[in-house]
Amino acid sequence: MDIKYIVELRSKLEELQHENKKLSKQQKTLIVEAKEILSLAEQRYENKTDWSAVANLVVQGATLVMQLFRQDGG
């Protein structure tokens, strides 16, 4: 697993959050939660102590992103 994918996904979520004014409250909440989870994954990755926690956090973040895009219709 490479940290650049975690950082890139979090960055894309930030862009989506700031550029899209038509997001529902639930979509905005999903973005915030996903960003927080991915930030935790990044911290754990940098600490190099708990790789299974990093993987679990990335999966949680990706699941929220998938929910976000399902709600968006695409």
Nearest to 29 by CA among 1, 71, 73, 57: 71
> And the tokens for 19?
């550029």
Confidence grade of residue 62 (pLDDT, cut at 50, 70, 90): confident
Q: Flag whether pLDDT at 10 surpasses 80.
A: yes
pTM greater than the 0.85 cutoff = no
Percentage above 90 pLDDT, the chain: 0
Tell me the chain's radius of gyration from C-alpha atoms.
Answer: 12
Tell me which residue of 28, 10, 37 sits closest to 72, measured CA to CA. Answer: 28
Our measurement of the distance from residue 16's CA atom to the centroid of its chain's CA atoms, rounded to an integer in Å, reads: 11
Tokens coding 74:
């695409």
